[in-house]
């Protein structure tokens, strides 16, 4: 897939795009049916609406971001206090990165991670953690390092931020 024109892609806080919550719920449920799926999908321990409600903050952690293309939610990422494979004292975490299958490979995941990193740096965090499987190379290209590989094949990654202002990115308030 070719890159999405920057002018067409908007990354904003989930709280600033409440109209997108239904689409984001559908996206994360389809991406992780084992976690969020209903009984017809084998069940899951996670409740998508509950997780999204936690991500509706405008600052702090947890917090969610959404990628919008022509007003349609095509990706999401969240900041969390812990993550899959977390050990004591690790955090904050970049969690729940997913992009609509028809939009993968166009730089949307990288833009979402950049937004999450910029927010963590703005809040003064010197390090972030993430757990990834398919998106592992995306994180590695952004300067993350692998700390360990979990038994289920997921990689626990970390990134230290050298600059107090962190990665350069402008998050558009109300980016709908």
Task: Tell me the pLDDT tens digit for each residue of 55-87.
Answer: 999 989 999 999 999 999 999 999 999 999 999
Residue 166 within any structural domain of the chain? no
Domain span at residue 68 reads 9-160
Residue 3 within any structural domain of the chain? no
Residue 167 within any structural domain of the chain? no
CATH number at residue 40: 3.40.630.30
Task: Tell me the pLDDT tens digit for each residue of 25-52.
Answer: 999 998 888 777 654 544 556 788 888 9
Residue 25 within any structural domain of the chain? yes
Q: What is the C-alpha to C-alpha distance for residues 27 and 109, in angstroms, rounded to an integer?
A: 14
- Cβ contact 68:12 at 8 Å: yes
Q: What is the C-alpha to C-alpha distance for residues 129 and 60, in angstroms, rounded to an integer?
A: 16
Give kind and range of the element (H or E) at residue 66: strand 63-69
Residue 137 within any structural domain of the chain? yes
Q: What is the C-alpha to C-alpha distance for residues 151 and 97, in angstroms, rounded to an integer?
A: 20
| pTM of the predicted structure, to 2 decimals | 0.84
Residue 168 within any structural domain of the chain? no
How many domains does one find in the chain? 1
Among 122, 5, 117, CA closest to 59: 122
Instruction: Report the alpha-carbon angle 142-129-97, nearest 5.
Output: 70
């Amino acid at each position: 897939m070719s890159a999405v024109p920057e002018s067409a892609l908007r990354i904003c806080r989930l709280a600033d795009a409440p109209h997108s919550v239904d689409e984001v719920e559908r996206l994360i449920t389809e991406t992780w049916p084992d976690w969020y799926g209903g009984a017809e999908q084998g069940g899951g321990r996670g409740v998508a609406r509950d997780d999204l409600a936690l991500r509706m903050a405008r600052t702090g952690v947890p917090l969610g971001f959404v990628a919008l293309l022509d007003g349609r939610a095509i990706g999401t990422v969240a900041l969390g206090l812990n993550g899959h494979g977390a050990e004591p004292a690790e955090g904050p975490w970049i969690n729940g990165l997913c992009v609509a299958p028809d939009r993968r490979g166009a730089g949307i995941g990288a833009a979402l991670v950049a937004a999450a990193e910029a927010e963590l740096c703005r809040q003064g965090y010197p390090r972030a953690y993430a757990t990834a499987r398919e998106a592992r190379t995306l994180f590695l290209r952004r300067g993350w390092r692998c700390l360990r590989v979990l038994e289920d094949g997921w990689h626990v990654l970390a990134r230290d931020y050298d600059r107090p202002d962190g990665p350069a990115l402008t998050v558009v308030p109300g980016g709908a």
